[in-house]
A and B are shown apart, each in its own frame.
Chain A
Amino acid sequence: MWSRLGPRAVFGQAALSAGEKNPNLMMLSADLGDSSGLARFRNAFPDRFINTGIAEQNMVGVAAGLAKEGHNVFATSFAPFITLRSGEQVRMNLGYMELNVKAVAIGSGVSMAFLGNSHYGLEDLAVMRSIPNITIVCPADCAEIVKVVHAAAEFTGPMYIRLTGAVGNPAVYTEEYDFQIGKSITVREGTDITIFSIGSMVYESLEAAKVLDSLGVSSKVVNMHTLKPCDYDAIDQAISSSKAIISVEEHSVVGGLGSAIAEYKTQFSKSPAQLILGLPDKFGKTAEYRFLLEKYRLVGEKIAIDIQKFLKKL
């Protein structure tokens, strides 16, 4: 049911239900309340929603003041605006002062399609990951968005929530499962390689694993929904039991999930080779969302082909 609504509408629904449960929860938007699915929250809790105007820096600062006085504040915008435009406000208020603000990127990765690179989240994980104290969570599908919003509503501390995917987002999960911030989820068992993936790429990695199966490669797929703090136990397991480690993310190959795993892995003299799959380090041409995922080879079948090529070279 959630997938048909798309990530933004689901976020709005989840915000509403989390708001009903948590009276100290507030939602801020820099004039993208409707685009972020927050109209119902605004109507239900008029004094707990502030449209700060098109002023993301101010939004993060206001969120910090509210958080200082006991609110759990979600400040929402598109990925580049919340992470880069207001980057220093994020650094001071969420990082340095550890205030209880959840910065939410609506539509990160390349899901903004024809709106273009100005609206894409290519480097947001790299930026946020390098600021101390900020927990980073990226739900894999719409059902997980609901879990993440509810978990964040109960969580005290600064957090970056990164939403990827578009309307019609495929579902990763068909059954109820336990979600905990900081604890990765093995969504598929396998014995040859481990594929770590995040956000929209968890589904594509599962698709890739099916193709690889038919090619005789058994793949474990891990949903690294929390990029920070990173689940090093899961990486340790992959290091000790896999022939190769693959990371897949709808983010630049610079500074995201692949980098986080590689940084950790370098301390071991014996660790499997790693293939980092993601968006190229460039501003490319603009197109429809699925077109871009195909072009950048971030769809199941192409991920599988690239993994197979990589394995052959080892």
Chain B
Amino acid sequence: MNHLKKIENMAHFMRRKILDISFQSSHAAHLGGGLSMVEVLATLYSHILNFDVDNPRWEQRDRFILSKGHGVLGYFSALLAAGFINEEKYATYLTNESDLIAHPVMNLDLGIESSNGSLGQGLAMGIGIAYSAKKNKNLNYRAYVFLGDGECNEGSVWEAVMLAPQLKLDNLIAIVDYNKLQSDQTPSSDIINFGNLAAKFEAFGWDVYDVDGHNIAQLVDALESKHDAGKPKMIVANTIKGKGVSFMENNNEWHHNVLTKSKYALALAELEG
């Protein structure tokens, strides 16, 4: 099986797992933003990131930070598919005192590098991680940070955007899930209009790729392309919030909602065709 097919299969598996756990937990969850991240995360965990599930603290592992911390449905399903989390652990999602709640809680043994939930903090941490690898000649891991587009309203994101090129961190890769919807029921462009987000990052000195965030071949190309020496890489992944379930797509009622039995059946029938 070629790697594109493998990634595609993983993405399909993740979507199924997202729907299953959302229904089973019976709690409201960030479904829309979880589903928009699936291809990016499948590409990373199936093909790009260096890691060893049997040795999750391996020094040379690539570090992945989920800066848009509410994207756990995408994240945990990727960790399940990759083997960091088993089915039993996955089933504890949103149960009392579980390791798997609505935002990541740092747990290296589960492959979770940092605690998140407060937006606008992950890219700064990514800079520190990438700088550490640069400073230590024996280490050559990369730092990957996944942000939301709504998250980019936070001023602290732009503090980090300014610093990373200054430090010439060409081992830092940021990805923005540009799904163009955030919490309120209006298009993001009515709240803060980023317009050409890619051009903005480029102006700050990043090596920028503007891609279809559901097109695996494009994602692979962007992630595998050789780094511009001295420049951090930014991938603007143009995505659809709720991708894969037609009644959720671009419908912000699914930003944070409960998946009822009937809706679950509907979504599943569509996914499994």
Contact = CB atoms under 8 A, between A and B. Distances in A.
Interface of A: 47-48, 50, 52-53, 55, 57-71, 73, 88-89, 91-93, 96-97
B133 A61 contact: no
Given A92-B118, A96-B115, A97-B106, A65 B126 contact: yes
Contacts of B116: 92
A91 B117 CA distance: 12
Interface stretch (B89-97, B157-165, B175-183): B157-165
Given A47-B135, A92-B115, A65 B125 contact: yes
Contacts of A61: 121-125, 127-128, 156, 160
A92 B115 CA distance: 7
Secondary structure dominating the interface of B: helix
Nearest to B106: A97
B249 interface: no
Contact of B163 (A62, A89, A96): A62
B245 interface: no
B191 interface: no
A60 B116 CA distance: 15
Given A58-B160, A58-B163, A61-B121, A97 B115 contact: yes
Contact of B118 (A58, A68, A88): A88
A93 B159 contact: no
B129 interface: yes
A189 to B, nearest CB: 46
B162 A53 contact: yes
A58 B106 contact: no
A63 B127 CA distance: 9
Given A55-B156, A71-B132, A89-B121, 9 more contacts: A50-B131, A58-B127, A58-B160, A61-B128, A62-B124, A64-B128, A68-B129, A92-B121, A97-B114
Secondary structure dominating the interface of A: helix
A70 B59 CA distance: 11
Contacts of A62: 124-125, 127-128, 131, 160, 163
A66 B120 CA distance: 17
Contacts of B106: 97
B61 to A, nearest CB: 11
A96 B155 CA distance: 22
Interface of B: 106, 113-116, 118, 120-133, 135, 143, 155-156, 159-160, 162-163, 166-167
Contacts of A92: 115-116, 118, 121
A63 B135 contact: no
Given A53-B163, A58-B156, A89 B124 contact: yes
A96 B121 CA distance: 13
B128 A68 contact: yes
Contacts of A53: 159, 162-163, 166
Contacts of B160: 58, 61-62
4 tightest CB-CB pairs across the interface, nearest first? A65-B128, A61-B124, A69-B132, A58-B159
A50 B167 CA distance: 9
Contacts of A68: 113-114, 125, 128-129, 132
Contacts of B133: 69
17 contacts: A53-B163, A53-B166, A55-B162, A57-B156, A58-B124, A58-B127, A61-B121, A62-B124, A62-B125, A62-B160, A65-B124, A65-B131, A68-B129, A70-B132, A89-B124, A91-B118, A97-B114
Contacts of B128: 61-69, 73
Contacts of B129: 65-66, 68-69
B194 to A, nearest CB: 20
Nearest to A63: B128
Contacts of B114: 68, 97
A251 B116 CA distance: 32
Nearest to A67: B128
A308 B128 CA distance: 53
Contacts of A58: 124, 127, 156, 159-160, 163
A57 B123 CA distance: 11
B132 A66 contact: yes
A22 to B, nearest CB: 15
A297 B220 CA distance: 67
Contacts of A89: 121, 124, 156
